[in-house]
Each structure stands twice: as C-alpha cells, then as structure tokens.
Amino acid sequence: MGDKQGFLTKEGGSWKSWKKRYFVIKAGSLFYSKNQATGHLGIIELSTAGPVQPSEYKKKRFCFSIETPKRTYYLCANSDADKNSWVAALCDERDRVQEKGKYAPAPVAAGTAGGQVVQPAKPKAPATIGLEDFELLRVIGKGSFGKVFQVRKKDNGKIYAMKVLNKKNVIERSEVEHTRTEKDILQKLVHPFLVNLYFSFQSPDKLYFVMDFVNGGELFSHLQKDKKFPEPRVKYYAAEIALGLEYLHNSGVVYRDLKPENILLTEDGHICMTDFGISKQGLLAEDDRTATFCGTPEYLAPEILQGHAYGKAVDWWSYGTLVFEMLTGLPPYYSTDVQQMYTKILTAPLIVPDFISPEARSLIAGLLERDPARRLSDGKVIKAHPFWRGIDWQRMVEKDIPPPYVPPVKSKEDVGMVSEDFKNQKVEMTYVPSNLSANEQANFAGFTYISNEGPLKP
C-alpha cells in the first residue's frame, strides 16, 4: 500500500491528554481515527504545514512535531526508526502537495532538529502526470466502460492497473457523477481491504485511473471453479469484507454494489474490494437516506425494490446474500427470470440448506431480514455474532492471520489469473476524437490526482 499508515500516540487539544490513534497519510493530509474501522476523527492538512521534525517535547520518547498555522501537533511513535520513518514520509507528502502549486504554505518560523535548521517547505513548479509516464504491458480487462491495462510506471518500475474510460461514453451513459464519486472515494479512503488509487488524469477524449494491480483473480471466478467454499474459508473472506464494509459506512459511504465480481484476491489471498462507481457518499448520520434505484439484481435489498428511501442497511443485505452464495454456490433467491427473482426477494421464505452450521444460519437470517429496522446492520453487533467465535478482529485487519487459500500466482506482477481473451488483445491506446464542447469538458475539471506514491516529475 502506497499510503503510510499505523498507530501513533497524539497529544490532545485543551486537555493535553495523550491518546493512541490510527494515522494515514493520504491526498495531502494526515487523517487520524480510533482504529482502522472507524471514520476520521480529524485531519491535519499538510498543504499549509511548516516544519515536521523530531522533538523532545515534555521528555516524551520518540516524539515529533508538525507545525501548522492552527497549532503545533505532537505525536509519539513506537521506536526511533518508526519516528524517523513518519517524519520522512510526512515531509515528502508535505513537499509534494505544496509543489503542486495548489496552495501557498503559511509563513511558519523555522525550527531546529539535531542542531540543524529546518526551514518550512517552499512551493515549486506544479507536478504533472500523464499517459507518457506509463508503459502499457497488456490488456487485463474490458467492458462497456472501456479497457483495463497492466502498466509499468517508467520512473520507478512499479506495476499498476490502469482503467481507461471514454469521456463521450461517460457523458452519454449519464455516468459523470458516478465517475467523479468513484474518484473521490478512492482518493479519500484507505483501508487494508479496499483498492488504492494512486493517480488519475485525463486527455481530451479519455479518463485514466491508475490503481493497485490485484492479480489473485475475482472471487466470482474462484467460486465458479470451486462451486462453493468450505465454511472456514467463507468465514475468513466474510470477516475481511465486513471490516471493509464497516470502514466505508463509518466514512459515510454506502457501497451499493457488493458482489463476487467486485471482490478480488491479492497475490497472497486477502480480500480487495473494488468498483465504487455507484457508491453514495455523505451518509454520515444513522438516519441519512438516499433513493436511487441501482445495484445488481441478485443482491438488491427489498427496500430498493420497493422504491423506499434507504440507508447503509442495504449493504448488509447484499453481504448476507454474498455469504449465502459463498456457502451454497448461488444467491438465496436466485432465478434466471429477473422479475421472478425480485418477487422472491420480496416474498419468498428463506431456505438455508441443512449442511450450513447453526451459527452461519443465524447470521444469514439476521442479515436477510426484510425489515431494515430489524436487520443486522451494525458492524459492531455483526462482529460480535457467534459465527465469528475465535476471530481476532485486530489481527484480521492487520492481515496477521494467514489466508485459507493462496492464488496460483508467482509474483505481484504475474498475470496467470487473467483471462487469455484479454491477454491476447492488442496492447494499444486508440485515439477517438472527442468532439466535446467546452461545457462537456468542464464535467471533468479537477480530475487530476497524484498520490504520495513514488517520485514525480517537475
């Protein structure tokens, strides 16, 4: 993962108490929260920060400070090496975001570290990113949206996946808002089980997303091959997905498209949730609702089919459907006739096969409760269910528990799990005259994003 993250101890505000918090450097800011699952408690903007340096503040060990116009923040790491790593990463991100020329750093007095003067960062020429910075290696995916390429960044040799969208198609399919939402979500959020966005940029006719190359295959393809998974394997995948879903909800995001096709396995067998194109931001309060009819038929919650306003509980219905499918091979109300399937989702009794354990049956029944007010839809309550007996949630989110299955790939660059139909396609970026008006191009203003991943060209 390109964004540095981990636990630090932070001095509080007026009470000056010290509390352990989880910190993430991302998108020009330092975010902090109680742990990996909760939403952000606060943000330290690096765009206006001055010196970031070691400190002997109050004789605290492994302490460093971040000076901002608002206040000086004091943080403590776990070791001297950890402290130095954080200081270096924060300085790099501060310099990067200030180099973009987007902000002018506030005047902050110079500080000292180890007897040397540490000057505030100075703005430099804007950094840029474009297609010329990448080598196209092979096609790894294709759909109505466009193509996905495996690419190599020329200056550091790192491998990524690049999703390419045709602007005209995005506009004609009324996908402008969804495309911007996906970019915003990927840019702001970071979690062990969510895909990372490193760069986004545009040309006159196309939009480009540069993300993690995740090469262990879709959960869908593994489920098709194996027909169904044994319960311990389901429990592992479901636990990682639950942590990712809980984090999204605590960040005010409703996923709305949880299904096996949108879940990838990493090369070592962990979950990676992808495709936030129809997600909804801004639902922070418990009673916040939205009403758009969207999603994949097999996984739609009853309240969406009924045209009711809905909240985060729709994701837990989809989650229950997914857990059922991993255990049995099919969603609980599946039918080849979509209208008949909708009727079954709304009215048919839930039939759980006898080979499923009582604990799993209980969890599924709670998740597939048609009344959203009675549905299991609180991450903390769900994680306390007897189905998870023996799960160490902290070790799970830290990826400290070995996955039950490791995909047959040899390295992080291996494309063995990619369909031959894609890999055999010609690797080229076709130019399509956009003929878009200035007003249409304005839909994509501010689309460029550069993370703190790797060196940038001036």
Residue 163 contacts residue 146 (beta carbons within 8 Å): yes
Residue 396's alpha-carbon distances to 38, 215, 235, 236, 404, in angstroms, are 15, 21, 11, 9, 13
SS3 label, residue 211 = strand
- φ, ψ of residue 231 in degrees (nearest 5): -60, -40
SS3 label, residue 86 = helix
Name the residue among 290, 85, 274, 298 with its Cα closest to residue 191. Answer: 274
Q: What is the DSSP string of 129-152?
A: --GGGEEEEEEEEEETTEEEEEEE
Name the residue among 210, 197, 184, 154 with its Cα closest to residue 455. Answer: 154
Question: What angle do helix axes 219-226 and 313-328 make, rounded to 10 degrees?
Answer: 30
Catalytic residue among 133, 212, 257, 275: 257
Name the residue among 276, 89, 311, 91 with its Cα closest to residue 189. Answer: 276
Tell me the Ramachandran region of residue 193: left when phi exceeds 0, alpha when psi lies from -120 to 50, beta otherwise: alpha
Residue 241 to residue 10: CA distance in whole angstroms = 29
Residue 266 to residue 216: CA distance in whole angstroms = 5
Question: Length of the chain in residues, anyone?
Answer: 458
Residue 83 to residue 63: CA distance in whole angstroms = 7
- Does residue 337 carry a catalytic annotation? no
DSSP 17: -
Residue 182 contacts residue 277 (beta carbons within 8 Å): yes
Spatial CB neighbours of 193, under 8 Å, sequence gap ≥ 6: 240, 241, 243, 244, 247, 270, 271, 272, 273
Name the residue among 151, 105, 103, 104 with its Cα closest to residue 129. Answer: 151
Question: What angle do helix axes 313-328 and 358-367 make, rounded to 10 degrees?
Answer: 150
Q: What is the DSSP string of 271-312?
A: EEE---TT-B----STT--B----S-GGG--HHHHTT--B-T
Residues forming the active site: 257
